[in-house]
Structure 1
Amino acid sequence: MGIRQMLADYSPFNQQEEKDRELMLRYLDQFADLFGRENEFAHFTASSWVVNRERTKVLMVYHNIYRSWSWIGGHMDGETDFLATAIRETKEETGIEEVRPVSRELFSLEILSVDGHVKNGKQVGTHVHLNLTYLLEADETQRTSVKPDENSGVAWMGLDEALAKCSEPYMKLIYAKLNAKLKATQ
């Protein structure tokens, strides 16, 4: 299924998702390449909300650039399979080897601002991520490891603890939404 159809079929959870979905559909009409970083204004990314089997904990990483505990995700880099990207990024950023989608359906969407920063010695300008999120499950006893160029910590934490440890105000709202959606699916 193409991105346009996936967005059209998605039922927004709240006003933020409704507005962001509308903007994503407009950006698809306005911009040629939203699947690569070449579009310096906006591009698609995929994230994962990785929970344990009991749905009581979430796997977070301490993000070096944002200096905050964060979900897991990354750039599409030309790919068009969002779920595959979310799974790949989860394995790369946490070191876990086994992770499975709770559902192949899109779990959440959000447009996120990214402040200008330096990554790998190169300046990256301020831009936005058109982010699609998937709900994934992993065994919390798996060995984890950091990805030093991106994070300096990987930890399972309670759902409320993840919000408390996040230092980015807008992301706290996103994580609270993800937790509310998680509880609504149980």
Structure 2
Amino acid sequence: MSLYDDTVEVLRGYGDQDELRELYLAHLAAHPDGVWRSCGDGHVTASALVVDPERERVLLTLHGKIHKWLQMGGHCESGDRTLAGAALREATEESGIASLRLLRGGPVRLDRHLTPCAWHLDVQYAALAPAGAVETLSDESLDLRWFGYDEVAKVADASVVRLLEGTRALL
């Protein structure tokens, strides 16, 4: 199965945000290259909110280009076989935490937003950090920091807040 096929399957199985999900599926039907950065009309991206439920905190990255506190994530790459795998790869690369695992049940949310390169049709997951996880700043970030659940709304935009709310509901 290709990444494109996996993405369509994941979106068809996603049981929330019907209008946005259908927009994603229509975009992919019109753009066979819609999972790749090269699709100038917009492309699917994969992200994951790194969560430490035991300590009630999340790890956010200060994005190097956008200068906002965000969850880990980004473009799909040729080696990605699944959308979940792309989200986990991005979270691992950007957090430096090797033993993350995705929260079961598939994506937590969808979020469509305009970036300098194109529209991002982000499929957002949650990744659980192991006890004692130590983060490492990557070249893609200006900063990497843990925030308590109650601090997120003070530093991040509404999309990250909604992702946290959805994640906490699943925990």
Q: Distance in 2 between matches of 1:8 and 1:92?
A: 28
Q: Distance in 2 between matches of 1:56 and 1:62?
A: 20
- Indicate which of 153, 159, 167 corresponds to 1:174: 159
**TM superposition shift of 1:80:** 4.2
The equivalent residue for 1:185 is 170
The equivalent residue for 1:132 is 123
**Do the aligned partners of residues 143 and 184 (structure 1) sit closer, same or farther apart at CA in structure 2, a change above 3 Å counting?**
closer
- Indicate which of 144, 147, 152 corresponds to 2:142: 152
The equivalent residue for 1:109 is 110
- Retained in 1: the 8 A contact 2:21–2:110? yes
Question: In structure 2, what residue type is equivalent to 1:82?
Answer: L
Question: In structure 1, what residue type is equivalent to 2:23?
Answer: L
Gaps of 5+ in 1: 117-124, 167-171
**How high is the TM-score relative to the length of structure 1?**
0.81
Question: In structure 1, what residue type is equivalent to 2:162?
Answer: K
**TM superposition shift of 1:179:** 2.4
Aligned-residue Cα RMSD (Å) equals: 1.8
Gaps of 5+ in 2: none
**TM superposition shift of 1:81:** 0.7
The equivalent residue for 1:59 is 59
**Do the aligned partners of residues 185 and 142 (structure 1) sit closer, same or farther apart at CA in structure 2, a change above 3 Å counting?**
closer
Q: Percent identity?
A: 27
**How high is the TM-score relative to the length of structure 2?**
0.87
**TM superposition shift of 1:55:** 6.6
**TM superposition shift of 1:162:** 2.0
Question: In structure 2, what residue type is equivalent to 1:173?
Answer: A
TM alignment of 1:74-89, pairs within 5 A: 74-78=74-78, 79-89=80-90
Q: Distance in 1 between matches of 2:86 and 2:29?
A: 23
